[in-house]
Structure 1
Amino acid sequence: MSEAVHVEERDWLAHVPVTLFTIVMGLCGFTLALRAGEAALGFGYFISGAAHGFTMVIFAIVALLYLAKGLRHPGAVVAEWRHPVKLAFFPAISIALVLMAVVMLDPAPGLARAMWLVAVPLQLVLTVSVVSRWIGARSFQHGHLTPAWFIPSVGNVIVAIGGVPLGYVEISWFFTSVGLIFWIVFLVLVMNRLIFHDPLPQRLQPTLVILIAPPSVGFLAWVALVGEVDSFARVLLNGAYIFTLIVAVQLPSLLRLPFSLAFWALSFPMAGVTIASFVYGDATGSAGHRVVGLGLLAVLCVIILALLFRTAVALRNNEVFVPD
């Protein structure tokens, strides 16, 4: 073994995972869900404002950590890129930036536009690159397929949530179309894998919650594009609800698993279905959906607080930046 490999093994920076960007995704979703909840209750934006500031700090830390890893240990980044499971998490980088742009729309629209214009080409590059690797010469096994493979499609759909308010409607239609098409394809593949093949490894079982994200975020993008809650939007929202119920049944077994960063997969999908409930309630005047949104928001608050606590404990115990 070379000296360079020995150095990588000793340096914790080499083990900073690309999955850290799912933390940013979750916190962005949490901030937006808090805003929607505060609007539904007629409150000010004090709590969501605090969450916004905290999210910006975490985003900066995560981005700097992974940039430092790329500069100091490029081989470790390449190894993640070549990993059959971790590959799917790379678009979380551009998704986090798109979500930060969405979060910044109201307080700083100029900055939001700049972030969106950087994030969207990166999202396209990562989507094409990841899908090209999936269908390339390398053979993937059914055990490599997890709900994390939805991440590229979810990222494409999110583009419209920021793109439509910024005036980039046609670009938003392109990314939403791509995202929904890939969602349908991968939904079939993932359900086949979950039903007919071996169970997910313990570390990846929390990614089951990602099943909620595509229809809930798809609902938000569709409503932004068409300007109303139509029949297809209702299909997407109710699809998100049934996946939420399915995940809720699995939740007791998931909570018995040892903690890992994969548990952050619970955060963004729950935020997505929460925001979708508030948007539906506002658009149709449905008090029931507002109540559902408030209930989901309460659950999301518990999830975020628990994740932050468990992550802090894992960091204190040196259980995060370690070799797999």
Structure 2
Amino acid sequence: MKTNLRDFNISWFATVLGSGGVALVSLPFYPQLTLVLTYLLTFVFAILTLIWIAKIIKHGNVVKSEIQHVVLGNFYPLQPISAVILAILYKKLSFGFDLPLLIYGAVLIFLFTVYLSYHFFANITPQLNHIHGGWFIPPVSTILVTDALLLYPPNKMLFAISLIYFGMGVMLFLFLATILFLRLINHELLPSELAPTNFILLAPIGILIVDFLSIFRHADLLFGSFSTHIALILSISLWGFGLWAFIVNAMLFVKYIKREFPFFLGWWSYVFPTAAFTLGTIALSHHIEFFKPLALALYGLLMFVWISVSLKTIKLLVSKST
């Protein structure tokens, strides 16, 4: 590629996150695809991480300025969240090495979430039109850690840690959703280069549905309560909000397509949120039959989106290599 190390874009990790979401969703449908993708994503994650580390070593000042940037900073948790999605896949496939990956991702996610909040509070004054869906990435990463921790056998310490991450993610999601809605109502639509980030709203919704069901199941096992019905009430209600968000953002996508809307890495923001909402729907389908055809339809849509974005990404790589 003709681009140099200094120009390496942290958004390349969205390819691992998005494809990792596809791998997770594919597990009940095509487990062979999950297996192949897990091997492939392990390789891609390792290569991207080596490039990222090399950039930190050689261009530390550039990395620092990107982390502190009002737009780019929120995308930096994509690296550790990619580690967490791989940890989840490793756990589900019994690969081993899932716990070291999870610990690494969880620690770095916590540090990024705390630092970015502090930085935006103390050092800069973002304008309302600076707010975009990418600000959801830190809360998405924390609630995905919750999902990963609850894959392990019920344990009070792990349960407490999972709820700490859950609390951070939920409250940040609520605060940021309020600000983003205010921005969308009071300002013009986001520019094309940030348009896909609107879709990230679906990511925390989908993961929260899975988290609610897992949290209440673990609470039942650890404390002897019977609260699955409460989890279903919360999760189905949240799914309704997700349906609204999905339709509105699909309509916004059509509006952007009617303008000049060329492909760029940001289009991967359409993949993982769709995967997350599909995962939430699959989780609900285990309890209520109504959600089974919806889960299947969403899976079909996810595969279409993923294949389309993947092909465009390959074309982008080829064009940069020539």
Is the TM value for this pair above 0.5?
Answer: yes
Cross-structure match for 1:112:
98
Which of the numbers 68, 72, 79 marks the counterpart of 2:54? Answer: 68
Q: CA deviation at 1:263?
A: 0.3
Q: CA deviation at 1:138?
A: 1.6
Cross-structure match for 1:291:
293
**Matches of residues 9-20 of structure 1 in structure 2 within 5 Å?**
12-20=4-12
CA distance in 2, matches of 1:51, 1:94: 18
**Matches of residues 206-245 of structure 1 in structure 2 within 5 Å?**
206-227=196-217, 228=228, 229-245=231-247
Q: State the superposition RMSD in angstroms.
A: 1.8
Cross-structure match for 1:170:
160
SS at match of 2:262: coil
* CA displacement, residues 259-305 of structure 1 (integer Å, 9 cap, x when unaligned): 111100001000001111111001x141x311111111111111111
1:206–1:254 Cα contact (<8 Å) kept: no
Q: Percent of counterpart pairs with the same letter?
A: 22
Cross-structure match for 1:204:
194
Q: Which runs of 5+ in 2 are unaligned?
A: 218-227
1:35–1:48 Cα contact (<8 Å) kept: yes
**Matches of residues 133-212 of structure 1 in structure 2 within 5 Å?**
133-166=119-152, 167=155, 168-212=158-202
Q: CA deviation at 1:254?
A: 3.6
**Amino acid in structure 1 at the alignment position of 2:266:** A
| Range with greater deviation from structure 2 (301-310 or 266-275) | 301-310
| Range with greater deviation from structure 2 (91-100 or 265-274) | 91-100
CA distance in 1, matches of 2:58, 2:97: 29
Cross-structure match for 2:24:
32
CA distance in 1, matches of 2:29, 2:183: 36
CA distance in 2, matches of 1:270, 1:191: 20
Cross-structure match for 2:107:
121
SS at match of 1:140: coil
Cross-structure match for 2:66:
80
1:164–1:172 Cα contact (<8 Å) kept: yes
Aligned residues: 303
Q: CA deviation at 1:11?
A: 5.7
CA distance in 2, matches of 1:214, 1:133: 23
2:139–2:170 Cα contact (<8 Å) kept: yes
**Amino acid in structure 1 at the alignment position of 2:180:** V
Q: Which runs of 5+ in 1 are unaligned?
A: 1-9, 39-44, 320-324
Cross-structure match for 2:282:
278
CA distance in 1, matches of 2:97, 2:257: 38
Which of the numbers 116, 125, 128 marks the counterpart of 1:130? Answer: 116
**Amino acid in structure 1 at the alignment position of 2:255:** S
| Range with greater deviation from structure 2 (145-154 or 98-107) | 98-107
Which of the numbers 73, 77, 89 marks the counterpart of 1:103? Answer: 89
**Amino acid in structure 2 at the alignment position of 1:214:** P
SS at match of 2:295: helix
2:68–2:116 Cα contact (<8 Å) kept: no
What TM-score does the superposition give when structure 2 sets the normalisation length?
Answer: 0.89
SS at match of 1:165: coil
SS at match of 1:106: helix
| Range with greater deviation from structure 2 (124-133 or 198-207) | 198-207
Q: CA deviation at 1:36?
A: 3.4
SS at match of 2:122: coil
